[in-house]
Amino acid sequence: MLHRPRRNRKSQVIRDMVQENHLFASNLIFPLFIIEGNNLKTEVSSMPGIFRYSIDNLLREVESCMNLGLNSFDLFPNIEESLKDKHATVSYKKGNLYLRAIEEVKKNFPEACVVTDVAMDPYSSDGHDGIVEDGKILNDETLEVLGKMALAHAEAGADIIAPSDMMDGRIGYIRQALDANGFKDVSLMSYTAKYASAFYGPFRDALNSAPKMGDKKSYQMNPANSREALIEAQLDADEGADFLMVKPGLPYLDIIKLLSDNFDLPIAAYNVSGEYAMLKAASQNGWLNEERSIMETLLSFKRAGATSILTYHAKEVLEKGWLK
């Protein structure tokens, strides 16, 4: 045999030499949950090792991460039920929990990259990403709320705004609103292909943001569809998105690959809460090797074409020295 591929696998040095994909701390974005209060740190029961932080402890966590070389963070708020209403008005109200968190992180760590979530569900009494009327999600009326929310985030210091709502036209609407108000340098990371997935459960527990009625299938994508992601991606690119995101990650590696092959924009993958919970449960029960299964998962996103990975494993892989 002239060709023996095993020759390039015969030692660790050679395997490292020919490795095609590499994972770096700069590829990772760490999602962090925020709660009101002081000196609070409460674990999410369905996500071992992941916590909700009051702002003072959030700052300590960000500092700890940055000391490890982890510099990008996506913030998500747990909003008290009494503050929620049908139009999510608290989402852009001056001095709310989320805006204070953004301001404090940027004030204390100006070099950190803060990604913010734009969607109504954490603030909505209906638990949906849009305004609900007679059981229907109103698309165009929701855009006004999303625009106000995005502007509030930009004013608070957000580096990247990530609309996760899946309303039609929201990237163009938000881009215009940001540009018209002097925020031309604030980036948009669009949740381009966000699927109506079963893997979001622990996240909704963390934020207490599950829908109060119905489901999200009229605006999130059908898991059976792939070509539809190309339509969403083209619209987002045309409307001014700076990143295209696929969510969830593991069940949709083909979609990450599809967007990577067809668009020149950076592709983000969201390694979601359910994926995290599965690996944690399996490793804690001794069914999987934790380090190998986590690193294999994260490398699969890079191999598929993701340039950024939002993952709850981000701090852990750096703390434990798993990035070689």
Burial of 242 (0-12, 13-18, 19+ CB in 10 A): middle
DSSP-derived pairing of the beta strands 28-34 and 41-43: unpaired
Q: What is the distance between the alpha carbons of residues 113 and 111, in angstroms, rounded to a whole number?
A: 7
Q: What is the distance between the alpha carbons of residues 247 and 256, in angstroms, rounded to a whole number?
A: 9
Q: What is the distance between the alpha carbons of residues 51 and 315, in angstroms, rounded to a whole number?
A: 12
188, 161 contact by CB (below 8 A): yes
Name the nearest CA neighbour of 284 among 33, 41, 61, 47: 47
Positions marked catalytic: 194, 247
- Determine whether the annotation assigns residue 232 to a binding site: yes
Q: What is the distance between the alpha carbons of residues 312 and 318, in angstroms, rounded to a whole number?
A: 12
Q: What is the distance between the alpha carbons of residues 187 and 29, in angstroms, rounded to a whole number?
A: 15
Any idea of the CA torsion for 285, 286, 291, 293, to the nearest 10 degrees?
-80
78, 207 contact by CB (below 8 A): yes
Helix 290-304 to helix 253-262 angle (10° resolution) is 30
Binding-site positions for Mg(2+) read 232
Binding residues are: 232
